[in-house]
Structure 1
Amino acid sequence: MALRQRVLAVLGALSMYRLVLFALIALAVIAIGLSFTGLVGPSAASILASFLVLAVVISLVDAAAQRLLRLPWRIESSLVTALILLFVLQPSLTLTGLAGNALAGALAALSKYVIAWRGRHILNPAAFGAAVVTIFGLGTFSAWWVGAPAMAIPVAVLGLVVLWRTEKVRVVLVFLLVAVGVSVVRQAVQAQSAGLAFAVSDAALFALTQTPYLFLGAFMLSEPLTLPPRRWQQFSVAGLVGVVAGWPILVGGMFTLGQERALLIGNLLAFAFAVRGSVRLVLTRREFVTPTAQELTFRTKGRLSFVAGQYLELEVPHRNPDARGTRREFSIVSAPADLPTLRIAYKDGDQKHPSSYKRALKAAEPGAVLPVTGTWGDFVLPRGTAPVLMVAAGIGVTPFVSQLRQLRATGVERDIVLVYVAAAASELAFRAELEETGVPTIVFTRDQPADLPEQWTWARGIRLDADGLERVVPDLAMRHAYISGPPRLIADLAPALQKARGLTTDAFAGY
């Protein structure tokens, strides 16, 4: 867990779209190099020509649609879609093949705006474009040449980097286990019916290295805007896609429900889980809750629902966005019972080089309307009456404020201890709200906070590391631990947190 959190801290310097784009570019460069050795099917020229056509067509369609809808143009999104289609479709140098690729790219781009619900993609754009041209034979087809054995290791390594950043490793592992398992069974049945020898190890190796399962899972199934909000729902979608992709079903003797069509079926299930869609928020007030943290209060336009402890993804369109892009995730401060009022908070200190997103968010004035793509997350309290430990670092206390407010609003009592670490006593955000809940709180600050209520305790210089946490929470082993803070803090506390009855983390890498 410690290693995972330290890697996440490094990867957090890039936006999700930018990281995926760089990973796909690296794969394209590797593929072009392998094409000269004959280890991948397409030639370098056909790969370059097809990418150029896809990139130009998708960028033009995206730019036109976003201008018409008055949305910011996201070049990263256009290039990501083009690169995914490059690995799915058959590269070509013929006029017919390039025209088919162009049509697939145009359909993929249009699907982002036409086949959408309140800003949410219903279908994976690349999968939709590839499926249409393949089913109707429109100049090209889904070749999935990325499934060549020589591409398996690069796809696995770069895919793992992306999944680590998006925290979808377990979801894609479920997909791979199901897809490979079903594929092995299918190969066994086919070998038996043909009277051929069969070895499970060979079949599993074939499914991993000579099929596009790795690419499909890492770069398409994991796409956030087509996944449902809760992890168990994501596992359900992953399992369904794995079954259909692992054993393609022939439809009408014309085409199978394999690969990208399997993903589209999973997209429909995901949409059924997340049909509530996105909403827009109207900024009504902003105020500093500590010298370096601001709270934004919004009024929701449209129906929004969430569970206390979940987060939302807020978009702030602005010119010349930096590498982190125009979207960020924020834990929700307010409780579901507070709707239609919704609050978030963020660090707004005297940084020398703040991100373009933070500058744009800081410039937003009351009355500004900002889109939210949805609410996600499993950082929610466990069912039942199990004792809980909450560990918060600085502004990481926000999901706990939401949970404690909701418990108070619904009259539910639980055995909860809060450990709250901040750089100074003045950086303890939402202190009044936390005091009202009556939850025992242990404060880690350099200076002693003034006028602590009876249920609050200052740690008196104890260092918040694994040993320090066990000293102040001696019954840690009987509690389900929840920790919200920077990945490095989670890594430092890992030895102690592993001893808890259960553990749920909510890391944030900053912005």
Structure 2
Amino acid sequence: MLQPSLTVAGLAGTALAGAVASLSKYLIAWRGRHILNPAAFGATVVTVFGLGTFSSWWVGTPVLAVAVAVLGLLVLWRTEKVRIVLVFLLVVVCVSVVHQAVQAQQGGAAAMPADAVLFAIGQTPFLFLGAFMLSEPLTLPPRRWQQFGVAGLVGVLAGWPIPVIGTVTLGQERALLIGNLLAFAFALRGSVRLVLDKRRMVTPTAQEITFRTKGRLRFLPGQYLELDVPHRRPDARGTRREFSIVSAPSDLPTLRIAYKNGDQRHPSSYKRALAAAEPGTTLAVTGTWGDFLLPRGGAILMVAAGIGVTPFVSQLRQLHAQGAERDVVLVYVASEAAELAYRDELEATGVRAVVFTRDEPQSLAPNWTWAQGVRLDAAGLERVVPDIAARHAFISGPPRLIADLAPALQKARSLSTDAFAGY
């Protein structure tokens, strides 16, 4: 982002920008979550105040455009932010083309739309800004429509750089910082404190933690929270993790999360700290997030693997509490019957379920059936849910299961996934 330099002043300015960027993560933060993109903030400080260097965005060149596009796509695919950045690129390129046309007209030259598009894509930092900076999860708002809004705002401001101070314009990094502030405004309501009440095992390998909320927490059934557990010497994965919310909004101020114990020989520092937390410990929720939400109408198919059933517990409990009548089928996959978490709560909601386990669960509810120990695959899913094409499908589980079921799930009216890889 910064102008390359070998002078003492230039090197000092670059070092200062890096220091300011790092400090901003801790000084400009709210309850453990930084507000502004650190690189954009560091570059802005040294540029606006003329501290030895300035932002030049040399990454925005034709030579690097292909590499940035390919590597950026890999990042976006992994973080599931492709659509957000596509919206940004569509807006920023269109605004940039219009801006170039206005400049050409003012200079008495003819507008060349095709050249303007190529310039915006290959000779500006827009690709890098979108793929590697706008997409940063920690500075995005919780809902997808909010993320689209931030992407559009940053696209407009970056595509039409407005002069601010002297030669400094409201473009690129300043545009991103304004988008960060809008995202913070969206996320602010979700930051509350939780007091640990109790914990219990819900299966032989998974446990649940119950909290009491301090302050007003808002979430929708199917969303997840980010829980901050400060501890000494955290490992590379840090002090925050995301957990699907088990309880329903109607259960507040009680809130529950659950997770699989996983690797007990080499647990992460986070898992050790969470396991050591005693009742009465106060922890911070830095936000509630996600769009894994049921549609207002239509038949529903829920597919859960193991502890991936947690968002469905929240959704079904809320529907039951509201007395809502929905056509819902739950397909529940577990290694064995003992690993069927929240079975009693799910049966109490009246949901119709098909269970895939190696051994037969005992005393199933009348509207629950066992799949006779058959392994769930795409063909098996279509066999037990023959009307899948008429349903909105939701699947929560490991990426491998989602991939295995993809041929069947693609036939559904819509598909929402909640992939997880454990903690």
Q: Shorter-chain TM-score category?
A: over 0.9
Q: Give the gaps of 5 or more residues in structure 2.
A: none
Does the CA contact (< 8 Å) of 1:308 and 1:406 recur in 2? yes
Q: Deviations over 1:224-248 (max 9, x none)?
A: 2221100000001001101111111
1:101 pairs, out of 14, 26, 29, with 14
Structure 1 residues 98 and 303: CA distance shift in structure 2, 3 A: farther
Q: CA deviation at 1:253?
A: 5.3
Q: Within the alignment, does 1:307 sit opposite 2:225 as a pair? A: no
* Residue in structure 1 matched with residue 371 of structure 2 by the alignment: 459
What secondary structure, in the 3-state scheme, does the structure 1 residue paired with 2:53 have? Answer: coil
Does the CA contact (< 8 Å) of 1:282 and 1:366 recur in 2? yes
Q: Percent identity?
A: 79
Q: CA deviation at 1:324?
A: 3.4
Counting helix residues as a fraction of each chain, which structure ranks higher? 1
Does the CA contact (< 8 Å) of 1:117 and 1:277 recur in 2? no
* Residue in structure 2 matched with residue 424 of structure 1 by the alignment: 336
Structure 1 residues 289 and 277: CA distance shift in structure 2, 3 A: closer
2:309 pairs, out of 390, 393, 397, with 397
TM-score with structure 2 length normalisation?
Answer: 0.94
Does the CA contact (< 8 Å) of 2:104 and 2:111 recur in 1? yes
Distance 1:289 1:277 in 2: 27
Does the CA contact (< 8 Å) of 1:120 and 1:277 recur in 2? no
**Residue type of the alignment partner of 1:332:** I
Structure 1 residues 319 and 101: CA distance shift in structure 2, 3 A: same
Q: How many residues align?
A: 423
Q: Deviations over 1:122-163 (max 9, x none)?
A: 322322222232223232211111212222222223222322
1:242 pairs, out of 143, 147, 155, with 155
**Residue type of the alignment partner of 1:290:** T
1:414 pairs, out of 307, 320, 326, with 326
Q: Within the alignment, does 1:209 sit opposite 2:113 as a pair? A: no
* Residue in structure 1 matched with residue 382 of structure 2 by the alignment: 470
**Residue type of the alignment partner of 2:271:** K
**Residue type of the alignment partner of 2:340:** L
Q: Within the alignment, does 1:274 sit opposite 2:187 as a pair? A: yes
2:107 pairs, out of 190, 194, 199, with 194
* Residue in structure 1 matched with residue 243 of structure 2 by the alignment: 330
Distance 2:329 2:54 in 1: 58
* Residue in structure 1 matched with residue 95 of structure 2 by the alignment: 182
Structure 1 residues 392 and 228: CA distance shift in structure 2, 3 A: same
Q: Deviations over 1:476-504 (max 9, x none)?
A: 11110010000110000001111001111
Q: Within the alignment, does 1:485 sit opposite 2:397 as a pair? A: yes
* Residue in structure 2 matched with residue 9 of structure 1 by the alignment: none
**Residue type of the alignment partner of 1:507:** A
What secondary structure, in the 3-state scheme, does the structure 2 residue paired with 1:145 have? Answer: coil
What secondary structure, in the 3-state scheme, does the structure 2 residue paired with 1:443 have? Answer: strand
**Residue type of the alignment partner of 2:399:** P
* Residue in structure 2 matched with residue 76 of structure 1 by the alignment: none
* Residue in structure 2 matched with residue 155 of structure 1 by the alignment: 68
Distance 1:296 1:197 in 2: 66
**Residue type of the alignment partner of 1:147:** G
* Residue in structure 2 matched with residue 7 of structure 1 by the alignment: none
**Residue type of the alignment partner of 2:333:** V
Distance 1:304 1:332 in 2: 12
Distance 2:335 2:31 in 1: 40
Distance 2:32 2:239 in 1: 15
Structure 1 residues 277 and 390: CA distance shift in structure 2, 3 A: closer
Distance 1:153 1:363 in 2: 48
Distance 1:131 1:252 in 2: 12
* Residue in structure 1 matched with residue 415 of structure 2 by the alignment: 503
Q: Deviations over 1:399-450 (max 9, x none)?
A: 0001111112222221111110100011000011001100101111111100
1:449 pairs, out of 347, 361, 373, with 361
Q: Deviations over 1:449-487 (max 9, x none)?
A: 000111111112333111111110111111100100001
* Residue in structure 2 matched with residue 355 of structure 1 by the alignment: 268
Distance 2:214 2:292 in 1: 25
1:228 pairs, out of 132, 137, 141, with 141
Q: Give the gaps of 5 or more residues in structure 1.
A: 1-87
Structure 1 residues 255 and 272: CA distance shift in structure 2, 3 A: same
Does the CA contact (< 8 Å) of 1:291 and 1:349 recur in 2? no
What secondary structure, in the 3-state scheme, does the structure 2 residue paired with 1:207 have? Answer: helix
Distance 1:112 1:324 in 2: 16
Whose RCO is larger (CA < 8 A, sep 6+)? Answer: 1
1:170 pairs, out of 78, 83, 100, with 83
Bigger Cα displacement from structure 2, 174-183 vs 236-245: 174-183
* Residue in structure 2 matched with residue 375 of structure 1 by the alignment: 288
**Residue type of the alignment partner of 1:125:** P
CA RMSD of aligned residues (A): 2.0
Distance 1:186 1:174 in 2: 18
What secondary structure, in the 3-state scheme, does the structure 1 residue paired with 2:194 have? Answer: strand
Distance 1:302 1:138 in 2: 42
Q: CA deviation at 1:174?
A: 1.0
Distance 1:370 1:161 in 2: 34
Structure 1 residues 262 and 243: CA distance shift in structure 2, 3 A: same
Bigger Cα displacement from structure 2, 403-412 vs 156-165: 156-165
What secondary structure, in the 3-state scheme, does the structure 2 residue paired with 1:286 have? Answer: strand
Structure 1 residues 116 and 327: CA distance shift in structure 2, 3 A: closer
Distance 1:255 1:292 in 2: 57
2:350 pairs, out of 409, 420, 438, with 438
Does the CA contact (< 8 Å) of 1:175 and 1:241 recur in 2? yes
Does the CA contact (< 8 Å) of 2:88 and 2:154 recur in 1? yes
Q: Deviations over 1:160-183 (max 9, x none)?
A: 232223221211111111111221
Q: CA deviation at 1:338?
A: 1.4
Does the CA contact (< 8 Å) of 2:188 and 2:287 recur in 1? no
